[in-house]
Amino acid sequence: MTDPQALWLNTKHGELAVGPARETAPGADEIVVRNHAVAMNPVDWIIQSLGDVMMPWLRYPFVLGTDVAGEVVSVGSAVRRFKVGDRVLGHAVGSDKQRNRAAEGGFQTRTLLLERMAAPIPDSLTFEDASVLPLGLSTAACGLFQHDCLGLEQPSAFPEKSGKTVLIWGGSTSVGCNAIQLAVAAGYDVITTASPRNFDYVRGLGARMAFDYASPTVVADIVRELQERTLAGALAIGETSAAACLDIVHASKGARTIAMCTPPVSFAELPAGRGRFGKFPPLMARLIGSNAKLFITAGLRGVRMRYIFSSSILGNEVSRAIYERFLPAALAEGRYVAAPQATVVGHGLAAIPAALEMQKKGVSARKLVVTLSGSS
């Protein structure tokens, strides 16, 4: 067994580098997991470029990464759901303001997880497939079920039909794949958007109807479909999603709330180091201006818009409702699938920077995964 290793972000806007990590004993409600697979998310490279703006509380050196799957090697004194040797998936919340610990980052051989943000992996699921779930799951659950977002009924094995419809813009994304399944499991019909090549995929996850997000008539088409339906709210995923959802919600009957996963500008072209400062001011100006326009327009139309912060479920009942009461049985019984599809693009911590660059270029209906099997 080798010493623990981590992929360190040593300074703001710095490069990622593999180095030794400290052994950390779990707190009462924590577990230590030896990671076998980790998945890539946009937030990982966004923090590298904009961590000082988005998360000024972060202490460096820091460990990025949120999606992990592996084997439990240690448990805290109050942990009852897991034991050493269990296969688990978990949402690593090291970047949360209240946690703010490198030991809780995902990109390392061992990660400290909160028990309430982890779930067992059934034998039918590989570590690679399981690793795609946590952040997308948490984000979707926050947007759908947290009271200050859409506040929907929670999912169950035998949901009562609500008679209401949820609009999920961006159904083939990581968040969208989870949101479709969660909303259906909570008793709601789902209308979603995707590219035509992913229509069958999102319908297979439970969406009642799928519309081409790039169609010039997509807003009018969805409004027409919703005329005979009652809207339970909208989940907006993607840079242009909030404006489109605002037009649809304004023209429909039912709940007038939009939970936003994505800011209305792209950070993909902002480098982490050299060249950053030339692009940063105009990007922030566009971000502030676009947000102001969205929220002012929403206010004038009587629509409530709310940004989603996935780790906020730490402080409420949603985390236990999803990771403890719903997901374990749903995965084991095949009522919930690990989505989007895992695509393994490398092995070892040193492969993660290249995987993040691939993620930054954009992926659809899949999630990039790096394996760490055989790590300490």
User: Quick check: helix, strand or coil at residue 241?
Assistant: helix
User: Quick check: helix, strand or coil at residue 58?
Assistant: coil
Q: Where are the alpha helices (DSSP H) in the chain?
A: 42-54, 127-130, 134-145, 174-185, 199-204, 218-226, 241-250, 276-301, 318-320, 327-332, 352-360
Q: What region does 215 belong to: left with phi over 0, alpha with psi -120 to 50, or beta?
A: beta
> Nearest Cα to 164, choosing from 224, 244, 228?
228
| Res. 276 pLDDT band, cuts 50 70 90 | low
User: Quick check: helix, strand or coil at residue 321?
Assistant: helix
Residue 110 CA to residue 246 CA, distance in Å, equals: 42
Residue 272 has pLDDT above 70, yes or no: no
Average pLDDT for residues 283-301, to the nearest whole number? 94
Domains in the chain: boundaries: 5-133+338-371, 137-310
Q: Enter the tokens of residue 64.
A: 């990025």
pLDDT exceeding 90 applies to what percent of the chain? 85
Q: Enter the tokens of residue 119.
A: 């779930």
> Nearest Cα to 63, choosing from 38, 30, 82?
38
Contacts of residue 266, defined as CB under 8 A and 6 or more positions apart, other chains included, come to 239
Average pLDDT for residues 139-168, to the nearest whole number? 97
Superfamily of domain 137-310: NAD(P)-binding Rossmann-like Domain (3.40.50.720)
Predicted structure pTM score: 0.95
DSSP class of residue 332 equals H
pLDDT digits (tens, 9 = 90+) for 43-80: 999 888 887 788 899 999 999 999 999 999 999 999 99
According to the model, what pLDDT value does residue 376 have? Answer: 44
Residue 163 CA to residue 231 CA, distance in Å, equals: 9
Residue 217 has pLDDT above 50, yes or no: yes
> Nearest Cα to 341, choosing from 172, 160, 157?
172
Element (H, E) at 231: strand 231-236
Average pLDDT for residues 163-183, to the nearest whole number? 97
Average pLDDT for residues 102-120, to the nearest whole number? 98
The angle at the Cα of 291, spanning 286 to 292, to the nearest 5 degrees, equals: 100
| Cis, bond preceding 61 (omega within 30 deg of 0) | yes
Q: Enter the tokens of residue 56.
A: 């000024």
From 3.40.50.1000, 3.20.80.10, 1.10.533.10, 3.90.180.10, which CATH number describes the 5-133+338-371 domain? 3.90.180.10
Residue 335 has pLDDT above 80, yes or no: yes
Residue 245 has pLDDT above 60, yes or no: yes
Sole residue written with tokens 């409420």: 316
